Amino acid sequence: MKKIAVIGAGTMGNGIAHVFAQNGYKTNLIDISQDSLERGMATINKNLDRMVAKEIITEKEKENTIKNLNQYTDLAQGVKSVDLVVEAATEDTDLKIKIFTDLDRLCDADTILATNTSSISITQIAAATNRAGKVIGMHFMNPVPIMQLVEIIRGYNTTNEVTQTIMDLSKKLGKTPTEVNDYPGFVANRILMPMINEAIETLYNNVAGVSEIDTVMKLGMAHPMGPLQLADFIGLDVCLSILKVMYDGFKNPKYAPCPLLINMVRAGKLGVKSGEGFYDYSESRKAEKVSKQFS
């Protein structure tokens, strides 16, 4: 593989594009919004500058990474003659199915189509194409340039050859790929989201406050951050979306989202990205403090 396309210039998309470009792949970053592309590129530049300052990479390696990146608002142009497409759009089933229907029509027959979904069925997405054997999940973790894990999710029809190709590719990116099967939430979120939801239930039931719940999990369970802070970082809307997918998929009440989470999302309190969630990030000093934890 030499040429990659990444759809979506948001938090996950720009991180995925960054990693591919840094590892020598010609990478097309695609988004319907030019403003989103510019914000995504600004984030990549900022993260590369941080890596240069920490002597993780050289200035020349930063320059080469930027040279490997191209921006497109036109999907057809962006996916032309690429070997792999990684979709990192919003966690919405209908949107992803629409994107994969278009990709199947626009991409070369040999192009592998991957999705960064954290919970939606790979088999369902693949069914929207005429190449189900070439559709696979690549669930990167946030922040992508730092986190080592990539969940590789096989759909019902994903071939062994495609799975091995993506496993090998992930290793070339310096990641640790882990193969899992296609069930709601896969492994990471099937375990993580019920824990986050239970922490929210604990708060909802007035067992303890936000900082107290997070302190118990950090000091008592050796978690690097508490579940409520982690939920803020992921995005409460994303957490809610994943829980809904798992609840719909399993019909098990243990995956039902806590009413407090639902109300917070309705109120626009989404965590770091909205300036307020379980913690207040509205002051620049506080936002900077949280950001430094992931630098």
Query: pLDDT of 144-191, one tens digit each?
Result: 999 999 999 999 999 999 999 999 999 999 999 999 999 999 999 999
**Measured distance CA(146)–CA(149) in Å, rounded:** 9
The pLDDT of residue 244 = 95
- Phi and psi, residue 241, nearest 5°: -60, -45
- pLDDT tens column, 21-75: 999 999 999 999 999 999 999 999 999 999 999 999 999 999 999 999 999 999 9
Question: Which is the catalytic residue, given 151, 197, 241, 274?
Answer: 151
Domain ranges of the chain: 3-181, 190-290
DSSP string, 79-123: TTT-SEEEE---S-HHHHHHHHHHHHHHS-TT-EEEE--SSS-HH
282 pLDDT tier (thresholds 50, 70, 90): confident
Check whether 273 is labelled as a binding-site residue. Answer: yes
Question: Which is the catalytic residue, given 47, 189, 197, 241?
Answer: 189
Segment 218-246 mean pLDDT: 96
Q: What is the CATH number of domain 3-181?
A: 3.40.50.720
Check whether 115 is labelled as a binding-site residue. Answer: no
pLDDT above 90: percentage of residues in the chain: 94
Please say whether the beta carbons of 14 and 44 come within 8 A.
yes
Check whether 13 is labelled as a binding-site residue. Answer: yes
The pLDDT of residue 73 = 97
Check whether 118 is labelled as a binding-site residue. Answer: yes
- Give the amino acid at 151: E
Residue closest to 23 by CA, chosen among 3, 45, 49, 47:
3
Check whether 197 is labelled as a binding-site residue. Answer: no
Question: Which is the catalytic residue, given 14, 139, 197, 276?
Answer: 139
Per the prediction, the chain carries an average pLDDT of 95
User: Does residue 189 carry a catalytic annotation?
Assistant: yes
User: Does residue 181 carry a catalytic annotation?
Assistant: no
User: Is this model's pTM higher than 0.85 or not?
Assistant: yes
User: Does residue 139 carry a catalytic annotation?
Assistant: yes
Question: Which is the catalytic residue, given 14, 47, 68, 118?
Answer: 118
User: Does residue 118 carry a catalytic annotation?
Assistant: yes
The pLDDT of residue 290 = 47
The top-level CATH class assigned to 190-290 is mainly alpha
Strands laid side by side in the 69-72 sheet: 69-72, 26-30, 3-7, 84-87, 112-115, 135-140, 149-154, 176-181
Check whether 3 is labelled as a binding-site residue. Answer: no
The pLDDT of residue 283 = 67
Residue 291 or residue 150, greater confidence = 150
**Measured distance CA(20)–CA(32) in Å, rounded:** 21
Beta-bridged to residue 4, according to DSSP, are 27, 84
For residue 285, pLDDT over 60 is answered with: no
